Amino acid sequence: MKKQAVAKRNIITLGMALLGLFALTTCRMDSDSAPPSRIEQINFEQRRVNIMLGEEVSVRVNATPVDGRNNETIQWSLSQNGIIELNSQSNNGVVMRGLNPGQAVIIARSANVTAYLEVVVEGGIFIGTPHIMVGEPVLEIVEGQMRHVQVNLFGGSVLDNFHFEYTLEEGRDHIRIDTTGNSM
């Protein structure tokens, strides 16, 4: 009977030892498993992009490692709103459209990395018909006094200057600016 009690105790001790060893092995395996991969680097294909007003351009990024790209999402933002808009944002790139002339920076951000791309939007408001603007539409001067007046031609080129005629009206002592078939 004594031998049976000793054998029973040995079996219980051996079972507890095996159970403890199994628990330690399982815990060790959990601590060795690697955390999900993160994006370690984001690179734009270009450092600076020039686009025209209203133009849409696709900009690609290379996020590495590939596993990180699958586990994390790149967040997109702008340094200044109103110059460009961002569409179709993904971990592979973004589509941008020029809204107004100026400069803005696209910011691509992951948990550990940030990358920047400078964007310049060129162009301006198109004015189809040349017209003249005068800083002072009415100017009074004393007789005999000399005064310089500057007028600006908008929406055209230097070649359009001959379309406008500057004359002194007879009997009225003032200068009139007329067009020669163009709007003013």
pLDDT for residue 182 = 44
Are the C-beta atoms of 153 and 130 separated by less than 8 Å?
A: yes
Q: With respect to CATH, is domain 41-122 assigned 3.40.50.2030?
A: no
pLDDT for residue 92 = 86
Are the C-beta atoms of 62 and 117 separated by less than 8 Å?
A: no
Kindly report the length of the chain.
184
Dist CA 88 CA 58 (whole Å): 9
Report the predicted TM-score, pTM, of the whole model to 2 decimal places.
0.52
Q: What values do phi and psi take at 70, rounded to 5?
A: -80, -20
pLDDT for residue 15 = 64
Q: How many CA atoms lie within 13 A of 70 on its CB side?
A: 5
For the chain, the domains span: 1-33, 41-122, 131-179
CA 119 to each of CA 85, 90, 150, 184: distance values in angstroms, whole numbers, following the listed order: 11, 18, 36, 36
pLDDT for residue 87 = 87
Dist CA 30 CA 167 (whole Å): 93
Q: Which residues of the chain have pLDDT under 70?
A: 1-3, 5-7, 10, 14-15, 17-32, 124-140, 148-184
